[in-house]
Structure formats: structure tokens, C-alpha cells
Structure 1
Amino acid sequence: MADYGIEIIEKKIKDRLFIELSRTGLLFRLFSRIKDDISIKDKFTRKDYSNDGKLMQDLIGFRITTYFNDDLKIVVKLCEKLFGKIELVYDEPNTEVFRPLRKNMICKFPDEHSSIFSDIKISNPEYELIDNTFEIQFRTTLSEGWHEVDHLMRYKCKQDWDELTNESRMLNGIYATLETNDQALKALFDDISYHHYKSKRWEAMLRNKLRLRFALQELNSEILNYLNANAIVGKELFKINRDKIINTYIDSTLSFPTTFDNWIYFINNFFINDEFIKSITPEFLINEFDLCEKSGE
């Protein structure tokens, strides 16, 4: 049974993660767990932990699943900003060898949580070989189910697979299919975005280009009419690299509702600088943009 102090640490870190991820507007799901006593003992039997060597690092674990695979690196970068990273394992695809890709980060507890954990260890000898760290795993929604099956049915009972080379390759092959589907999913929405751009359906273009959790609020009619009459501005909106847009926002101190209007105001201010769009940008956003740019000088 988890110590109440551990539950507090898990909740506070999860709350911080959720708030920061929600600020981005990205499509994601967030899961967390605390290892129970059985899981801790099981891991102690499988791993060589010691007081003068390596300690268990994942008493508390989080998993962030993104809807699109190109959001994984964006989320990893965000987590690196939020927490003290100890280790990052982020496998890149290898054209010569196929294997499931690991995307895990080990982070140190924030200082205020480390002191709580130190007190917990003093009164709980079973935590002696556990470090003041937590793990974050990064997955896509398509690969999430495969990883769950693999972890429970193969990773935790590797001896069952010793003589099953073909079956193991088949299981990996299923992952390969999901990885290909992740790439196809992104390409599909890129194509949809282009289709809507060519048809001057600006809301649909933005929705499918940026792939954010947009509020159910229509695009300002002034912006809509302006884009219809000034195709060159719409073309600039479409051509700007999505990752550059999202990372610029994440690296800033900005936080605004995920509406089509706000994102056009933001993109215009930092990338396009069209005078008409700037003239209709709400004053409070202009002030926020100015403060953000000054703080980055």
C-alpha cells in the first residue's frame, strides 16, 4: 500500500504536468501509477539494486500519450524544461535493425518533494533501495496498447519467449505496423490541411495543420474575410513549419485559450507581421506578446 506522502508527490507532479500540457493545446492523455508492494518486490528480484550502486528509479511513473507521433519530441522538450532530467532514452528508427523504440525519461523529484521522500524513507525500510526520482514514458495512442501487452506478456516473463524467435518477430512486426500507421496518420492530416488551404477553408486548414484541441468557437469574420481577399497571407499561414510554431509558443510564457483567433494572432505576431491582423489583435494579447518578446531579449 502506497505511503500517503508518496500519493501527495504523485498528485502534485501529475497536476503540474497536466496544467503545462493543457497550456500547449496539444492532443494528449496523461496516466500515472505508484508501484504497489508486490511490484516493488518483483522488481527487486529482477534487478541488482544496492545502496552503493543503482537504486530503483520508477516508484512513481507517468505516461504521456500523444495523438500524433511528431508531438512526442515536443512533449519531451517540455518535460525537460519542467523537471530535473537525469536520463533520457529516446530511440530513433534504424534502417538496418527493427526493434520497438524506447522513449523514457528519468527525472529527479522537485526539491520540495525530495524532502518529503527523505522523511518517508526513514520510516519505511522497504524504500531503502528506491531513489528520489520518477519516470515519464512517452507513447502515441496507436502504440500504447502494444506496449502494455508487450510489458505484461513478454518483458515480465522473458523466459517464456526463449525458444519463440518467430513469434517474437511477429509481435515486433505488429509494432512495426503501428509505427507505420503513426506516420501515415500524420501524413493524412497534412494532406487534409493542404486540401482545405487550397479551398480557402481557413478554420479546417488550421485545425488539421496545428492539430490542437481547439475550442468550439468560429474564426472571427474579419479575419475570415481578410484571408479570403488576401491569399498571400493565407499561404504564409499554411507554409510556416508547425513544430516551429508550437515550440515557439511552449518556449514562451504565454498561455491563452486555444481558439482559431488567438492562434492566428500569435502566428502573425511572431512569424508574419501582417499589419491588418495586428490592428485587430486584442490589446491584452498585444501586451502579452510584447512582454514575452522583451523577456526573450
Structure 2
Amino acid sequence: MGTDQQKTFKVLITTVPFGELDQNPLIELNNQNNIEYVINPINRKLKEHELAEMIGEFDALIAGTEPITRYVLENATNLKLISRVGIGLDNVDLLFAKENGIIVSYTPDAPAPAVAELTIGHILNSLRGISFSDQNLRSGIWYRTQGQRIAGCIIGIIGVGRIGTRVLKHLQGFSPSKILVNDLNRNDELYKSFNATYTTKEEIYKNADVITLHVPLTSKTRNLITLKELKLMKSSAMLINTSRGGIINEDDLYIALNQEMIKSAAIDVFVNEPYNGKLVELPNCYFTCHMGSMTTDCRSRMEIEATLEVIRYLNKKPLQNIVPQEEYDNQLNM
């Protein structure tokens, strides 16, 4: 006997926080009569085995940076869509997902403004010693740190995509003495419009006072910065990474900072998160907790875009942010 009742579509939301800054993603889900959702009950980044145990019954996953590995996907017997809150995809086994007919979408534009601004914040902190001065004062030490202005520096940007381009734009107001850029997809017209000079990564390592990284984690960028590259840098160089953990070899960075091969590093992303490694021992390494996208507007946009993609899928409407083939190609040799 037939029925008009539509099957319940089950959604697991693993990214945290979710729906706290802005209730609209939850409102959108609640407006769908046949959606049931569960928000991460552990309220932290899930480990691989935790997600594997949890995912079995769900049709869609609104995901953060937790490991969505082959093992996890083998347990995702009902999964049809992964809607990633964010831009990085190194935590998702795209190739295995594709083999099993699981669509992957993401929110590539939403995080860019916030990550770019955090990068500028790290540059300013590195040049002026803001957090160092704060720590001194709290320890009863009144010491006026002698810093540098961006205007007197050569800034090197490796990776001039969505975020790198915004960093390039923000830097215009500070008038650096020179901006050096490198990207796989060279765009001389863009660089000219921002008074930037295209060059090799090696020339950036050798000449830049500040080097900031804005590349995805792929087989080509994993361990992009090792002791070899760090030795090329000026002893006064400052290294910024707000892109992905794994791009800088953390053990090599520890050696370089400990031996003062470079002046400092500012790191927002780590191989293993939450981070509790030995870099925290060093006074010339500054940290933030993978918070590049964590501004109210950008985080809200990421969450609502990922949510609407799930609703489009449920209602058989075209998805707007399906991961392009290029991202799958990036994982072929990883």
C-alpha cells in the first residue's frame, strides 16, 4: 500500500560551534519538515573513530575540520552529501567519496575576509611585538619594544588566491617597500594593479622580511617550508601561516626558531589540533587557535551557505558550491 509520507533526511552537524552566533542555519533546517539534525554532542573537534561510530545513519554531513577519512566513509553507509563549512579539504578523502557517489561541497569565499584580516594582525604583531609587550607588562616588566613598520619591509606572499589577494589588497594602505608574490597560477595583471612583483619562492625566502603563506595543503605544498627553506631566510625574517598545518614542518621550525635562524613565526594552523607541541616553549613563536575564519560575519556566512547546500540537495535543486575537479586532482598524489 502506498504512502505520501516523505522519508526523513538525517543531517549530522560536526563542526563546532554551529548556530550559536547566528540562529539562521538552524531556522532554515527547522523550516524543512522532513529534516532531522544532530549537532556534535561532544562539542569539540571529533576524532576519526568518534566520527566513524557516529556517522552511519546520516544522509548528509555539515562538516568542519575533523578527519573524514576512508575509514570514516566506509562507515557512512547512508551518506550522500558532505557540506564543508570552510574552504580547506585536506581533511576529506575526496577520491574515496567520489568513488562512492558522495557529493562534496564547500564555502570557498566565505572565510577569506576574516583570514586575510587575521594575517594582517599577525604581521603587525610580529613587527611591533604587541603580544610580547603584553606578556612583559603582566609580568611586571616595563619594556618599550623597538619594532618595525610595514612601510619599511619587503613582504612576501606565497599563494595569491582568494585569501592571498585580500592580503595583497589590505597591504596597500601600509605602503610596504616591496611586495613579492608567488603562485602556481601567475596573474601579472593582478600583481601590477597592486604594485607587486612576481618571483620564485626561493627569492621570497631570501629577500622578504615577512613571509606569509596562503596555499592549500596538497602533495606539492606538504612540508613546503623545511629547514632547507628556513636556512635561506634572513635572520630577521618573520614567517606567518594562517593557511594549513603541514605546510611548515613543525620540527624544523622549532630548530630554526630555537637557533634564531629566523626572528619569529606566527602560526594559526597545526598538523594536530588542538596543538600541544613544543613550539609553545619558544618566546619567538606566536599562536592563535585556528581562528582565521572566526569572525561573526564570516562564520555565520559559512554556516548558512553550508546549510543551504544541504537543503538544495534535499529539494533536488542545483548545488552552488560543489568542489571542483582541481581539488580532487590535488589529492591524487597525496
User: Which structure's CA Rg is the greater one?
Assistant: 1
Fold conserved between structures, TM > 0.5: no
TM superposition score normalised by structure 2: 0.23
TM superposition score normalised by structure 1: 0.25
